[in-house]
Structure 1
Amino acid sequence: MTDLVENTFLVSRPIYSEDSFSAEHETIDRRHTTALDHLKRATSKCSSKKAKAIALTFFPVASWLPAYRFREWLVSDLISGVTTGLVAVLQGLAYALLANVSPGYGLYAAFFPTVVYFLFGTSRHISAGPFPVVSLMVGSVVANLVPDNTGSSGNSTVVNATAEEILNNQRIVVAASLTFLVGIIQLALGLLRVGFIVIYLSEPLINGFTTAAAIEVVVSQLKYVFAVSVPSFSGPLALFYSLAKIFSQITKTNPADLIIAVVVMVFVYAFKEINDRFKSKLRVPIPIEIIMTIIAAGVSYAFNFKDRFNVNIVGPIQKGFQPPIAPSISIFQAIIPNAFSIAIVGFAVAFSVGKVYSIKHNYNTNGNQELIAFGLSNLMCGSFKGFVASTSLSRSSVQESTGGKTQVSKYTAVLAGVIIVNLKGMLKKFDELPTLFRRDKYDFFVWVLTFLSAVILGLDLGLAAGVGIELLTVIFRVQFPKFIVLANTWKTEIYKNRKDYNDMYEPKGVKIFRCPAPIFFANVEFFKDKLIKAVGFNPLWILRKRNKALRKIKKLLKKGELQVTSKGLICTSYEYHNESDDEELDNNRIEELDQPINTSELPADIDWNGDFPDVINVPKISTHTLVLDFGAVSFIDMSGMKVLKGILKEFLKVGVDVYIAAVDVGVLEKLKRSKFFDDDIKTSMFFLTIHDAVLNMMEVKGLKHMMEADEIKVIITHMLVTHIE
C-alpha cells in the first residue's frame, strides 16, 4: 500500500546576514597562494615515483603497451590496421592534390604521423594523417608562395618539364617548411600546457568552418573532374575566381576524365550508403575507394587511356623514402599566421574526434599530450617532405568500426571523385541549421557567419573571423544578460521569476532584482539601466526633485506662504507662480541637488510620499526596499564596483533600504579589499539568502504579517512518498 503523505519541515534558525553568520561560525583565513608557492610545493614532492609518472605522460605507449591483451586485441587490431592503412594510402594520394604537391608525397603524410602518434598519442581510435580541410589550408599557402606561372616564354616540352619540376620542388619545400613550423607551434603549446585553447573553437564554429572548407575542396577538385587548366587562387574571393576560371574553360572539358570521375563518384557514394546502412552487419566496411582506384588503374593501363583519350594520370611514384630536408627558415616570417591557424584547426579537429571516441569507449585523452603528439608528428612529417597531419573522420571511423582497440592498428579524376564523395559527411552539416536555429540563435549565427566568412575571405581569414564572431557572441551574452524581477512562491523560501508562475507573492514595496552575470565595465551601465527600469524610477532624479522641492519649501516658509500643521504643509498664499522645474534644474548647481536630503532646519519631518500643495512638485515612489540577488555574480571589476556603489548610495539617499543576497565569498572578499564599504555601504546589508534579506526587512519594518508568519522561520515544504506495508 502506498500513500502520499505531505510533510512540512520547519527549519528554525536566526536570520543570517554575512556579519552575523561570520560572527557565529568561525571563519578560516585562506592564504592566497602565489606562483612561487606552487613551485615550492611541486619541487618538494619530487621523487622517483613522480618522475616516472611524468615520463609516462610524455610516453603514453609505455603505460598501455605492457598491459596489451594480445589474445583479445591483436587480431582485431591487425584487421583494423590493414583496412585503415589502405584507406590512409589512398587518402594520402588524394589529399596531396589539395596541398598542391605531387600525390606521392601524400604517402609520407600518411606514414610518419601514424608512427609518431603511436608513441606519443593518447587516443586509441583516431587515425593520424592528412585531413582535407587542413590539406586545403596548406595548399592555399603553397599556391600563394609558389604560383603556377613560372614566367617562362618557351614552348619546348623539355623547358616546360624542367619548369614543372622546379615548381614541384619549390612547392614541397614550402609545404614541408609550413608543416615543420606547425609542428613547432603545436609542440610549444603542448609543453606550455595550453591545450585548453581549443575551447575557443565551439562546435558551431568548427561545423561552419569545415562545411565551408568542404565546398572549397569540391571547387578545387572540379579542375581535375573537367580536366581544365586552372591556376590556384588564394585570399578573399579565391573560391569565386576559381569557379569563374573553371566555367570560362568548360568547353575544353575532357569527356573521358569527366565520365571517369562521375562513375567513380556514383559507385563510391552508393557503397558508402551501403556501409552506413548495414554497419552493424558488416564485419569490415567495403573499401570501395581502394577497389575503384585499383579497377580504374587497371582499366586505364590495359586500354592505354592516357594516349587514347588524353586522360590525366598521377604518374610514377618513387619507391622508398627520400632523405630528410631542412625547413626553409627564410619563409617562416611570411607563413607564421597561416601556420598558427593550421596548428589550431588541425589540433581542434583531432581532439574533437578523439574526445568522441574516448567518451564512447570510456577512457581519457589528454589535450596537452595530444598537442605534443601532433607537434612531433608534424616535425617528423615536415622533415621527410610530408604535409600537415591531423586526423580524418572517415579513417578514424573505419579504425573504430573494424574493431581497432589500440594504436597498434594504424587517375587524377579518380582521386578527385574519391575526395568529393568523402566530403559527404561535412556537406550534410547543412541539415543541422534548422535545429540549431530553434535551439540557440547565437550558435546559429556563429555557424552561418563563420561559413560565409570562410567561403568569401578564404579559410585562414575565415577562421579568424569565426573566432572573432564567436567572441562577440560571448560578449553579447555577458554584456546584455537577462535581468529579472523575482517574487516569492507562497509559503516557501523559494524565489522565481514573477512572470513564470501564477501563485507568486511580491511583498508590497519590495523589489527583488536578480543579476545573472558578472558586473564589469562592459555591462555595468546596462545593469544600471535595467535596475532603474525594474524599480520604476531613477533614484538620482528623485533625489534632485526632492532637493529642489526642499529649497522651494524653505523659501516659501521664509516668506510665510507655507505653514507646517499636523496635517502637513499648507499653502497660505495662492499668488506664488510655479517656476519651470527644468529651468530651475539648469540654473542650479547639480552638485547641490545630489547631496543627501537635510530637513534639520524644518520645524517637522517631511513625508515625501505624502500630499503636498500644488506649488510643490514631488514625485512619489512606492518602493521602500530593494533586494539584489547576486548569486550568479562571479566577479565584479573596478568599474562595476564604482557604478554599483554609486547607484546603491542614490537609493539610500531617497530612503530605499538596500540588501544584497547570496554574494560569492570571493566577490565579497574583493569588495572588502577594494574598500567598497564605508559609512553608507555596510557589510550588514549583505545576507546569505534572498529569504534572509526579506525576513530581515519585515522584522525591521514590523511587517511580519505580510507573509502570515508568527515568527521568523525559514519554511521548507516537501512532498514525500512513504511506503506503508
Structure 2
Amino acid sequence: MKHFLPILSWLPNYKKEHLSGDFFAGITVGIMLIPQGMAYALIAGLPPVYGLYASIVPQVIYAILGTSRQLSVGPVAMDSLLVAAGVSVLATEGSDSYIVFAILLAFFMGAFQFLLGIFRLGFITNLLSKPVISGFTSAAALIIGFNQLKYLLGTDIQKSNRFYEVIINALDKVDDTHLVTLMLGIAGIVIIKLSKRIHKNIPGALIAVIIGTGLVYLLNLHSGGVSIVQTIPEGLPAFTLPQFSLGQFNEVLPLAFTISVVAFMEAFSVAKAMEAKNRNHKVIPNQELIGLGAANVVGALFQSYPVTGGFSRTAVNQQAGANTPLASIISAALVALTLIFLTPLFYYLPHAILAAIIMVAVTNLFDWAYGKKLWLNSKKEFLVLLFTFLVTLNIGMVIGIVTGIILSILLFLYRAAYPHIARLGRIRGHHEFRNITRFQDLETWEELAILRIDAPLSFINIQGINDYIRKLLSDDDKINEIIIDAGPVSHLDATAVEGLRNLIDSLNEKGVRLVICDVIGPVRDTMVQTGLTKVIGKKNLFLSLSEAVENALSNTKDPYKKVTLQSNVKT
C-alpha cells in the first residue's frame, strides 16, 4: 500500500517537530501562489481565477500519490504557454470553448502521465535531452516575457507564439503606450527584484500585488485607463465531468502528449534536485508520473488547467522549511480560503503587476551559462540546443520540441554509427595497453594491430567498423594479425554477427588472422548461440588482451624484428 499510496509512508510517522516547518512553508508558498497562479492563467489565455482553481485540488492529490516531499505542484509558466499555443488554434481566447479545451487538455495530459506510470514507461521521457530542454525553455522564456508587453505597456498588442511576430506587433503599438500602466509594471518588477535581494523568502510578488492594487484603488487609476482584473468569481471550483466529442479528442491528443512529457521532465528534474539536497526520501519516476497524472485528471474535474511541479515555488517551499507534503496541503487550503473569502480584494489588481510577476519569473528559464558550456565542450550538442531554440522561437512550441528530439536521436545514431576505435600499444615493462595517439613511448608491432572498439556491435556500426579494418590493411600491408579488445562491447546483434562472418572471410582470403579477447558473458552467449565462436575458432579467442598479445608474439619466428618504438605526441 505504501508503494501505491506514498502518503502512508510519511503521514503515520509524522513528527510534531515537522509541523512548524510545514505550516510556515505552506503559508509562504500559498501567499506566493495566489498572485503567481493568476498571472500564469493569463499566459494560458484563461481568466485569472483558473490559476487559483489549478492551485487547489492538484496539490492535494499529488501530496497523496507523489514521492517528493517538497515538490510544489501547480500552474507554471512554460506549460501555460504550451496551453496557449495549442488551444489558441482550436478556439478563440477568452471564449467558453477555449476554457473547455484547456480543461480537456489537463484531463488527457494527466491520463497520458498516469498510463505511462502504470505501465512503467517513464523512460520515454529520456528522449528529451538536456540541450533540447534548455533550448526549448530559453525560447519559451523569451516568448512568455515579450507576450507580457501587452499588459506592461497597456496597449492592445496581439499575442503570438512566434517571437518575431510579438516584436513586430509590439513595435506597431509602441506609440500607444499607456505611461501610468508602464510605470506600475516597472515598479512591480523593481519591488519583486529588490525583495529577493533583501531576503529570498520575502514574498515580493504579493507585496507588488498589495502596493499595485492599493495605488489603483486610492488614486482611481482604473478610470484613467489602467487595466484591472475586476470581478473574480467567489467560491470553490465546482465538480464537472468533462464532455467532449471524438473530434475534440483528436485535436487535443498530440498537444496533450507533448505537454505530459515536458511537464513530467520539468517536475522530475526539480524533484530530483530536492532529493539530492534533503536525502530523506527517494523520488520514484513511475510513481511521480502516476502522482502528476492523477493530479491533472482529478484537477480537471474541478476546472483545473494543466499543472506540474514548479522550480521557484519548490525552492521556496524547501527553503521555508517544508518537511513533508503537508506543506502543499496547507498551501491548497490557503488558496481555497482566498477563493471563498478574499476574491473581492483582487478587483483592483492591475494586469501590469501580473505581467511584472511573469516577466521576473521567466528570467530564470533562460540559461546562458549552459549554452556557453556546450559551445566550449560539445559543439554538436550546442547545435541541437541552438536549432531547438530557433525553431521554438520562430515556428512553434510543439514543432520546436519535436525538432529537438529528432536532432538528439540523429546525433545519437551518428555517434553509434561511427564509434571510437582506438589502436593500442603496450606500456613498456607492464601488461597494460593504451591508445597510441594519447600516450607516447608505447610498444607496438609492425605486423600486429591491436584495436579496441568502444561501442556495442550492431546493425548501425558494423559496416563502418569493417570498413575501418579494411582501410587499415590497405594502408599497411605488413599487418598479418588483428587483435580486437572486445571489453567495451556490451551487445552483439544479428546484423553484427553476419558482419563479423563476412569480415573473417575477407581476412582469411588475405591471410590475416583475427583474434578477439576479453569478451563479456552476454556477448559470448550470443557468439555461441549463433555459431560465431566456431567461425572465429577457439584458438583465436582469449580471456585477456595480454594473453592474446603474448600468443601472437610467441607464434612468430622472429618477434624482435616486429618491435618498433612508438613516440607519438599526446593529443
Q: Same fold (TM over 0.5)?
A: yes
For residues 650 and 395 of structure 1, do their structure 2 counterparts lie closer, same or farther at Cα, with a shift above 3 Å needed?
same
Q: 1:290 aligns with which of 192, 206, 217?
A: 206
1:314 equivalenced with 2:245 (yes/no) = no
Post-superposition Cα deviations, 1:265-295, rounded to whole Å, max 9, x if no partner, equal 122123223335xxxxxxxx11111011011
After TM superposition, give the deviation of residue 97 of structure 1 in Å.
0.4
The answer as to whether partners of 1:174 and 1:328 remain within 8 angstroms in 2 is no
- Answer whether contact 1:488 1:505 (CA < 8 A) is retained: yes
Distance in 1 between residues matched to 2:79 and 2:404, nearest whole Å: 16
State yes or no: 1:405 paired with 2:323: yes
| Unaligned segments of structure 1, at least 5 residues | 1-54, 149-166, 277-284, 538-619, 709-725
Is this contact kept in 1: 2:482–2:513, CA < 8 A?
yes
Q: Give the corresponding residue for 2:507.
A: 651
| Aligned partners of 2:466 and 2:503 also within 8 Å | yes
Partner of 1:534: 472
Residue in structure 2 matched with residue 576 of structure 1 by the alignment? none
Shift of 1:352: 0.4
Q: Residues 349-376 of structure 1: CA distance to partner in whole angstroms, max 9, x if unpaired? A: 0000000110111121011111111111
Q: How does 1:7-406 map to 2 (within 5 A)?
A: 55-70=1-16, 72-148=17-93, 167-233=94-160, 238-275=162-199, 285-307=201-223, 309-330=224-245, 331-362=248-279, 363-406=281-324
Instruction: Give the one of 532, 540, 547 matched to 1:692.
Output: 547
What is the one-letter code of the residue matched to 1:367?
P
8 Å CA contact 1:649, 1:681 repeated in 2:
no
Letter in 1 for 2:184: I
Query: For residues 355 and 431 of structure 1, what CA distance do their matches in structure 2 show?
Result: 21
Letter of the 1:255 partner, please give it.
L
Within 1, Cα distance between the matches of 2:536 and 2:319? 64
Inter-partner Cα distance in structure 2 for 1:673 and 1:699: 31
Q: CA deviation at 1:81?
A: 0.7
- Provide the rounded CA distance (Å) in 2 between the counterparts of 1:249 and 1:365: 48
Cα distance in 1 between the residues matched to 2:250 and 2:439: 61
Structure 1 residues 675-714: aligned runs within 5 Å: 675-678=531-534, 681-702=536-557
Report if the CA contact (8 A) 1:513-1:534 is conserved: no
**Unpaired stretches in structure 2, ≥5 consecutive residues:** 329-349, 564-571
Contact map agreement 1:143 1:232 (CA 8 A) in 2: no
Q: Distance in 1 between matches of 2:542 and 2:533?
A: 15
Alignment partners' CA distance in 1, 2:194 and 2:421: 53
Structure 2 partner of 1:435:
373
Distance 2:85 2:398 in 1: 9
Match of 1:489, as an amino acid?
A: I
Please tell me whether the aligned partners of residues 479 and 512 of structure 2 are also in contact (alpha carbons under 8 angstroms): yes
Distance 2:266 2:294 in 1: 17
Q: Offset at 1:633? A: 1.5
**Residue aligned with 1:354, SS:** helix
Counterpart of 2:425?
487
Distance 1:621 1:424 in 2: 61
SS of the residue corresponding to residue 645 of structure 1 reads helix
Secondary structure of 2:88 counterpart: helix
Mapped partners of 2:530, 2:199: distance in 1: 64
CA distance in 2, matches of 1:192, 1:374: 15
* Secondary structure of the structure 1 residue equivalent to 2:148: helix
Q: Report 1:563-712 matches (<5 A).
A: 621-678=477-534, 681-702=536-557
Q: Distance in 2 between matches of 1:530 and 1:627?
A: 14
Cα pair 2:53 2:237 within 8 Å, conserved: no
Instruction: Give the match's secondary structure for 1:84.
Output: helix
Q: Percent identity?
A: 30
Q: TM-score with structure 1 length normalisation?
A: 0.72
Q: Is the 8 A contact 1:517 1:633 kept in 2?
A: yes
CA distance in 2 between partners of 1:321 and 1:226 (Å):
33
The answer for the alignment partner of 2:337 in structure 1 is: none
> 1:522, CA displacement in angstroms?
1.9
Q: C-alpha distance in 1, partners of 2:414/2:518? A: 25
Q: Structure 1 residue 469 and structure 2 residue 469: aligned?
A: no
Q: Which amino acid aligns with 2:259?
A: I
**Does the 8 A contact of 2:514 with 2:536 survive in 1?**
no
Contact 1:143 1:233 in 2 (8 A): no
Cα distance in 2 between the residues matched to 1:305 and 1:373: 44
How many angstroms apart in 2 are the aligned matches of 1:433 and 1:105? 35
Aligned partner of 2:355 in structure 1 is 416
- Is the 8 Å Cα contact of residues 125 and 354 (structure 1) preserved in structure 2? yes
User: 3-state SS of the aligned residue for 2:282?
Assistant: coil
Taking the aligned partners of 2:304 and 2:157, their CA distance within structure 1 comes to 24
Deviations 1:411-468 (A, max 9, x none): 11100011001122112x1133222222222332222222112112211111111111
- 1:529-553 Cα offsets, whole Å, 9 max, x none, are 222233444xxxxxxxxxxxxxxxx
Say which is worse superposed, 285-294 or 515-524, in terms of deviation.
515-524
Q: Check if 1:525 corresponds to 2:451.
A: no
Local SS of the residue matching 1:647: helix
For 2:495 and 2:514, locate their aligned partners in 1 and report how far apart those are by CA, in whole Å.
20
The whole-number CA distance in structure 1 between the counterparts of 2:562 and 2:468 is: 28
Is the Cα–Cα contact under 8 Å of residues 110 and 295 in structure 2 kept in the other structure?
A: yes
Letter in 1 for 2:284: N
Given that 2:147 and 2:160 are in contact with CA atoms closer than 8 Å, whether structure 1 keeps it comes out as no
Secondary structure at the aligned position of 2:426 is classed as: strand
Q: CA deviation at 1:643?
A: 2.2
> Cα–Cα, structure 1 residues 268 and 261, in superposed 2: closer, same or farther, change >3 Å?
same
Q: Does 1:426 align with 2:365?
A: yes
Provide the C-alpha distance between the structure 2 equivalents of 1:320 and 1:85, rounded to a whole number of angstroms. Answer: 17
Q: What does residue 615 of structure 1 align with?
A: none
The equivalences for 1:542-557 within 5 A come to none
Q: Secondary structure at the match of 1:660?
A: strand
**Aligned residue pairs, count:** 539
Q: Distance in 1 between matches of 2:370 and 2:143?
A: 20
8 Å contact 2:25–2:317 — kept in the other structure?
Answer: yes
Distance 1:425 1:322 in 2: 31
**C-alpha separation in 2, matches of 1:703 and 1:534:** 23
Q: How many Å separate the matches in 1 of 2:496 and 2:488? A: 15
Task: Provide Cα deviations, 1:285-328, integer angstroms capped at 9, x if missing partner.
Answer: 11111011011111111111111x21111111111123222224
SS in 1 for 2:322: coil
- The 3-state SS of whatever aligns with 1:344 is helix
* 2:388 pairs with 1:450: yes
1:117 maps to amino acid: Y
Choose between structure 1 and 2: higher helix proportion. 2
The one-character-per-residue Cα deviations of 1:130-184 (angstroms, maximum 9, x if unpaired) are: 1100011011122111135xxxxxxxxxxxxxxxxxx432221111011111111
Which residue identity lines up with residue 395 of structure 2 in the other structure?
L
**Equivalent position SS for 1:110:** coil
Work out whether residues 446 and 562 of structure 2, in 8 Å CA contact, stay in contact via their aligned partners in 1.
no
Distance of 2:284 and 2:519 partners within structure 1: 35
